[in-house]
Amino acid sequence: MIEEISIKNVGGIASISMRLETGFTVITGESGAGKSSLVRALELIGGKRSQALFIRSGEEEASVEAVFSGSAERVSKTLQPRDEDGLLFARRILSRGGRNRCFFQDKATPFSTFASLMNDRMRIQSQFAQIELLDPKRQMDILDFCCGAQAEHLRAALENTFDEALRCDRELRAVKSKEQELKLRFRDAEAIVEALRPLQISPGCDLLWERELDEKNRTFQQARKVRENLLELTGGASNDGMIDRLESCALELIRRLFLEKTDVEASFNEGLSFLHSFISSIEEKASALSPEKIERERDLIEKKLGILRKIKRTTGTRTAEELVSWTSDAQEAIGWLREEGRLSSELLLCAKKLRREASSLAMELRALRQRAADSLEKEVNRHLQELGMAESVFSVKLLPLDKIRSSGADEISFTLSSGGSEEMPVNKSASGGELSRILLALQLALPEETLPPTLIFDEVEAGLGGKAALLAGYKLLALSRKTQVILVTHEATIASLADHHFLVKKTTDCVEVKKLERDDRIGEVARMLSGDASLQEAREHAERLLYSAESTECSQSGNISVLAGEGDLAALRGKV
């Protein structure tokens, strides 16, 4: 429970400190006195989100500090109580500059951790809880809360299993999408890669091959010309070349001029020998320029270039570098596609298995929720009868879904019927006053072990008056015997039932909070009844209310059993 709370610069509050006790505590005051600032501070220490506008005008920082008593069973080893009394210390600091800080046991604590720790210690229910009650998700949370730890474990397991199944489905869709993409991008890739293998392509090979082809063409032309020239000189196999004709013509001249065995013939024979030697040298050199060989080599290069150009057109690449990159990607894609069937099969089997597990968990959770719903209906209706709604029937409906979700196989709907009328969802049928009582009845119906050490209500009786407000007060009083209850209220009959009473008052420049003793309480209750604390009739009425509350057995002894039935409530109302 909260032992003490200190507030600085929150809303209209400059600086206040309150020591709180067990039982039922009410906080009252005129409208605009600063009660909302006090509730805001309680929300901040309770782990609600903050805003810079919560800080008092003209100040740079605001802070809320609280001291909690009780066991620290859910506090981690690093955040153990620092004294032998087992007190827990929480502090929250807001800054206009955005440097907000949270401390637990004087150690800086992340906000999420701080909020979780505070949620274990206190819970705040304001008029906005009526809006939350209309939300099916909130209704499901309330029902699961009634199911206890087993539902928490089941829901966590279901969420994990459902998320894993969704992950498998997403991966399977991604695999199929990648398969389609790769098959489209690398169509006929295996044949293309196989065709490219003997080519041994490399970056720039296309340009190199084109230069080689140009060179082969030039060499081929040269070889052909050389062969033609040699044939012209030698005449080939027919021996009818220029050399033969020269020799024949020269010998004819030597014979006609009677130059045989002269120096002229000797010179000719020597020259002819040199000419034959020249021809032999040329033929030896020309043998390396075989046009047939060069043509075969040229045809091979042309074939390689033709294949390369065709593959580049097929693959949409422009250069050998791009084709090398495409080939590398294609080989990787071919390997992936060969494994895709196995991967898809594994993912499909995994998803089916997880869906079966999710279905089993959802059915188990449904059965647990149905038992909790039956129990919750019974308890809520019992409390609603004692809150003046005897003609109303509250129900918890489990509506099966077509598909399992992470939260289960059902939607939860809180319904209400009155006077035998058709039951309808509370968001379509319940008035503000009925919602207030349903909220209170739900809080009372929750298992005692789920109650936090402190419950704070902000005008939970809104929309109620007269008998309904009085009955709500008795229920809050009964609840305070299980846990510390703090109520901000404008209802005099409820305020008179409290064990402790604080008054919020606005002075010229700040908000003050004062604990009221009996005489002061008479004046405050009289003000709440009539608007005038000095009015004698109102003071007498207030004194009777306080006297009746003090003389009530449940208020004196703390025994809540007297509130168990309608007859006991009637007896208590008689005393008032």
Question: pLDDT at position 463, please?
Answer: 63
Question: pLDDT at position 240, please?
Answer: 79
Q: Is residue 538 part of a domain?
A: no
DSSP 3-state of 531: coil
Q: Is residue 507 part of a domain?
A: no
pLDDT in tens, 458-505: 877 666 667 777 888 888 898 898 899 999 998 899 999 999 999 999
Q: Is residue 312 part of a domain?
A: yes
Q: Is residue 284 part of a domain?
A: yes
Q: Is residue 305 part of a domain?
A: yes
- Give 526's contacts (C-beta < 8 A, 6+ positions apart): 532, 533, 534, 535, 538, 539, 541, 542
| CA 472 to centroid of chain Cα atoms | 40
Q: Is residue 211 part of a domain?
A: yes
Question: pLDDT at position 70, please?
Answer: 67
Give residue 513's pLDDT band: very low, low, confident or very high (50, 70, 90): very high
Mean pLDDT, residues 555-566 taken together: 38
Q: Which residue has the higher pLDDT, 109 or 447?
A: 109
Show the domain range for 270.
205-318
Domain count for the chain: 1
CA pair distance 66, 447, nearest whole angstrom: 26
Instruction: Inform me whether the pLDDT recorded for 72 exceeds 50.
Output: no
Question: pLDDT at position 551, please?
Answer: 67
Give residue 129's pLDDT band: very low, low, confident or very high (50, 70, 90): low
CA pair distance 494, 477, nearest whole angstrom: 9
Q: Is residue 279 part of a domain?
A: yes
Task: Compute the mean pLDDT over every residue in the chain, rounded to the nearest whole number.
Answer: 86
Per the structure block, which two tokens stand in for 381?
């209706």
Mean pLDDT, residues 401-419 taken together: 90
Min mean pLDDT across 159-173, 309-323, 334-348, 414-428 is at: 414-428
C-alpha separations of 444 from 146, 191, 200, 282, 380 in Å: 11, 75, 82, 119, 8
Mean pLDDT, residues 103-125 taken together: 89
Q: Which residue has the higher pLDDT, 65 or 418?
A: 65
Give residue 136's pLDDT band: very low, low, confident or very high (50, 70, 90): confident
Per the structure block, which two tokens stand in for 235?
């005449």
Give residue 443's pLDDT band: very low, low, confident or very high (50, 70, 90): confident
Q: Is residue 276 part of a domain?
A: yes
For residues 436 and 465, is the Cβ–Cβ distance under 8 A? no
Task: Calculate helix-pair angle for 320-386, 136-147, nearest 10 degrees.
Answer: 70
- Residue whose C-alpha is closest to residue 525's, from 506, 513, 541: 541
Instruction: Inform me whether the pLDDT recorded for 44 exceeds 70.
Output: yes
Q: Which residue has the higher pLDDT, 347 or 550?
A: 347
Q: Which helix (H) or strand (E) holds 35?
A: helix 35-45
Would you report the helix, strand and coil content of the chain in percent, each value rounded to 5? 60, 15, 25
CB atoms closer than 10 angstroms to residue 429: 16
Instruction: Inform me whether the pLDDT recorded for 324 exceeds 90.
Output: yes
How many residues are given for the chain?
A: 576
